[in-house]
Amino acid sequence: MDLTRLIPVALAVLWGLNWPAVKIGLSEVPPFALRTVGMGAGALILIALAALLGRSLKVARASWVPLIISGAFNIALFNLAVVFAQLNTTTSRAAILTFTTPLWAIVLAWAFLGERLDRLRLLALLVGLTGIAVLAAPVFTGGISALGILFPMIAAVSWAAGSVYQKSHPIDADRVTMTGYQLLLASAIAAVGYVLSGETMPTHLSPRVVGAIAYHVIGATAMAYWLWFTLLNRVSVGAASLTTFAIPVVGVIGAMVLVGERPSLADYVGFAAVITAAGIAMWAARPKPG
């Protein structure tokens, strides 16, 4: 029985519920500590999984620099920005604003790769910026901190930057192995932040937080990445990317159920605009027939 069709559903749930899981973890564990442990443990699991599956653990010498640079943006800066986003705004707003990645990818690909800004891409940018403006409006009334908008934007731009860079600098390595090494690098960067910030790990964690962190490491990191690369081996990148549409939706629902958030009507308008814009951007980026 081919279970390929179930993988997108599993990924949407695993990555979508990771948003409230991280929020719960942050209630007792400081941000750099959470990312050091979470990404480090996830890295070790992925590398061990690659070895058990007989995947090559080698990386071509010429690929180490692209691996490090793309990992610094795609994994390290992205994940650190996400935790600080959740410390400064609601989980649902952070999840949706981070989903603006396809829009920033359009801008960066135009600026650095010379890709054309056609009408569809410009429409995506217009709709997306409208959604961002709606979600950012409470900043001007004192309803939310400006950092609650800034950090999700940093996360979105960093992921887009890493993706655009990797597109022009392909990495010659197994995908699972590559991600394991990038997570390990990101964990080391977070560990430096942990030391410099003077954070301390709590001596006791509640069962709820332990469960959230375990889910974050095993489900949303190790299992989700393995399923993602399994999906990429079976369908096109464009088809696989459609999975991402459900992630912020699951994230919003999870935030409502698990952490008690209640988005406003304006939030829903902003959410709809951003998701629509991301959809237009991904449609514009689809491979053209022939």
Q: Provide the pLDDT for residue 164.
A: 87
pLDDT range class, residue 81, cuts 50, 70, 90: very high
List the structure tokens of 108: 């960066």
**pTM (2 decimals)?**
0.91
Average pLDDT, the chain: 91
Q: What is the DSSP string of 98-147?
A: HTTHHHHHHHHHHHHS-----HHHHHHHHHHHHHHHHHHGGGGGTSS-TH
pLDDT for 37-60, tens place per residue? 999 999 999 999 999 999 999 999
Q: Provide the pLDDT for residue 273.
A: 94
Q: Provide the pLDDT for residue 239.
A: 64
Q: Which residue has the tokens 């410099």?
A: 196
List the structure tokens of 225: 């990445």
Q: Provide the pLDDT for residue 287.
A: 66
Task: Report which secondary-structure segment, H or E, holds 208.
Answer: helix 207-214
pLDDT at 3 over 80: no
pLDDT for 223-242, tens place per residue? 998 898 888 778 766 666 76
Q: Provide the pLDDT for residue 158.
A: 95
**DSSP code, position 288:** P
pLDDT at 106 over 70: yes
pLDDT range class, residue 90, cuts 50, 70, 90: very high
Sorted by where each begins, the domain ranges of the chain are: 6-284
Cα 64 to Cα 71, 80, 287: the distances in Å are 10, 22, 28
Mean pLDDT over 95-123 rounds to 90
pLDDT at 217 over 80: yes
Burial code (b: 16+ CB inside 10 Å, e: under 16) for 100-121 equals bbbbbbbbbbeeeeebeeeeeb
Compute the distance between CA of residue 113 and CA of residue 98 in angstroms, rounded to an integer: 22
